Structure 1
Amino acid sequence: MEPEPTSSYDGNCHCGRYRFEVSLSARISSSFACSCTLCAKKGYLWLAIPEGALKVTRDDGCLTEYQSAAARDKFCGHCGTGVVGEHLDGPLRGHLLVNIRALQGVNPFSLEASDAIEAVAGQDTRLFEPLTAPSDPPAQHLLSCHCGNVKAELLAPLSSLQAKEDNCSSCVRNAFVGVYPNKDQVRLHGKEHTSEYQYGRKYIGLVHCKACGVNVYNTVYGPPLSVFDSVPPERKERVMAAYRKNLALQPLNVRTIENLDLESVKVEKSDEGTEGYVLGP
């Protein structure tokens, strides 16, 4: 007789259009971090679950399915959160996989730091040709979604930028490891293939490829100018300078840099959690 589940987790994409429950016989203490290009670009932390352990509690028909040579996954087409998947090769082949990053009450930082297990599936290898004319300033790094529809060129060396990662409600779900060059240090390509998601105060837009769901870059909007009306005159010039500096940034996802070993990058992590995140009705 099967043992009764002792742990239950609620999961959801960020916008809440897809929600589910996972019932397990033990608490989650480890995960599988696959090195195939799809899982690496999305930062998936997989949990293999037994048959019948997943119960969908809400499905607004928002999931998009994408398949690489190594894996098949489903992500929310509205907010971009990856939720479930399946490997087509390797030790996880045939298992139903849940993205731990989409589960409430699980801090992926602790799993990544101690119990991450690498499960290497078949590789998808592609090399993208230069995107600009020889007369243009050369790119130091090329970033791309998995399917190649959305790309970015970073003109500054990655070593000159500070890479940062936090576990807020959105970044924890899309595994965003950010660098923040100025817009004039970046060239974006394929905007017509993207979908943008905003939430809360809508100071930032989370951008993902419509086809494969990979988050290559984000868009900074900042607060409306009216919020500065109450700033005292003696502080306003300094505050507005900081505001303009922030608007000039172009956030990029380090995970999507082609041929980059993320382990070689020093990433400043901010473990502040998802306080303030409220899932709507």
Structure 2
Amino acid sequence: MPAKDEDFIVLNGDETATLSTYECGKRTSAHKFCPTCGTAVMGRMHSGETPIGIAVRVLSDVDFDSLPVLMSDAANLEPLYQVPEPLETGVVPEGITPYHCSCHCGAIRYTLLSSQKIAEATKCNCSICSRNASLWIYPLTTTVRFDGIDNLTEYTFASNSVYHGFCKICGVTIRGRFGDSDIGLNLRTMNGLDLSGLEIKRVDGKAMLPAYEV
């Protein structure tokens, strides 16, 4: 959502000192996210009449599913985004499909070796998943290989039972960790995966206790 500086009032923290900044492509804008929880907050254009873009998912009391979506052709802007090099998997056993994944900047890469084609995902409406628009699958940890995990920042809240991991450089949500043995992977980080054909299972995480307080 575009905005002018006079329409934007910071009540807590500071745009420059509090938020992390990530730039890519022609670096015509700065993407700003919270370094603690990874939430994308805003974008700052380096020129133009409306220099600020607000991430509508951080707004309170907004029904995101009811909003009309205006499609952008930004994916075709020059220079075209180059997907980070996939991890080497070696010889992949017959019947196994490798899914190559990464954050935007490529500091974190991972590969899922799956015996089944990905056809469905879980969409949670909890306070953190709705902010990040994450789509989840829950594979066995033994089927996932990570590289650059030192660049992962984890955030937990409420019951502290789930650790939400995001890239500390570009802010992209990578995974959710449940203890040491179970993980969820954000399908939006899977390069080349067509999300439009997935069956979406909805989970009412918003109703789980303790309730999140804005």
TM-score clears 0.5 = yes
- Quick one: which amino acid aligns to residue 255 of structure 1? R
Matches within 5 A, 1:192-231: 192-221=150-179
Aligned partner (choices 69, 72, 75) of residue 116 of structure 1 = 69
Matched-pair contact (CA < 8 Å) for 1:151–1:216 = no
* Equivalent residue letter for 1:250: I
1:55 and 2:9 aligned? yes
Question: Stretches of 4+ moved more than 6 A in 1?
Answer: none
The residue aligned with 2:100 is 142
Residues 12-161 of structure 1 correspond to what in structure 2 (within 5 A)?
47-59=1-13, 61-69=17-25, 71-86=29-44, 95-111=51-67, 115-121=68-74, 122=77, 124-135=80-91, 140-156=98-114, 159-160=117-118
- For residues 125 and 93 of structure 1, the distance between their equivalents in structure 2, rounded to whole angstroms, comes to 26
* Bigger helix share: 1
Q: What RMSD, in angstroms, separates the aligned Cα atoms of the two structures?
A: 2.7
| Structure 1 spans left out of the alignment, 5+ residues | 1-46, 222-246
Structure 2 CA distance for aligned equivalents of residues 206 and 132 of structure 1: 26
Superposition deviation, residue 161 in structure 1 = 5.7
Q: Which amino acid aligns with 1:192?
A: D
Partner of 1:234: none
Residue aligning to 1:23: none
Which letter does structure 2 place at the counterpart of 1:256? T
Deviation at 1:264, TM superposition (A): 2.7
SS at 2:117 equivalent: helix
Q: Displacement, 1:98?
A: 0.3
Aligned length: 203
SS of 1:208's equivalent? Answer: strand
Summarize the Cα distance change of 1:107–1:159 in structure 2 as closer, same or farther, 3 Å threshold.
farther
Q: Secondary structure at the match of 2:6?
A: coil
Change (3 A) 1:165 1:181: same
Structure possessing the higher radius of gyration over alpha carbons: 1
**What are the ranges of 5 or more consecutive residues in structure 2 without an aligned counterpart?**
none
| Alignment partners' CA distance in 1, 2:131 and 2:181 | 25
The normalised TM-score by structure 2 is 0.83
Q: Does residue 278 of structure 1 match 2:213?
A: yes
**Structure 1 vs Structure 2: percent identity of aligned residues?**
29
Return the offset for 1:56. Answer: 0.4
Please give the TM-score of this superposition, normalised by the length of structure 1. 0.64
Q: Quote the offset at 1:68 in angstroms.
A: 1.4
Report the CA distance shift for 1:249/1:98 in structure 2 as closer, same or farther (over 3 A): same
Q: Distance in 2 between matches of 1:87 and 1:268?
A: 36
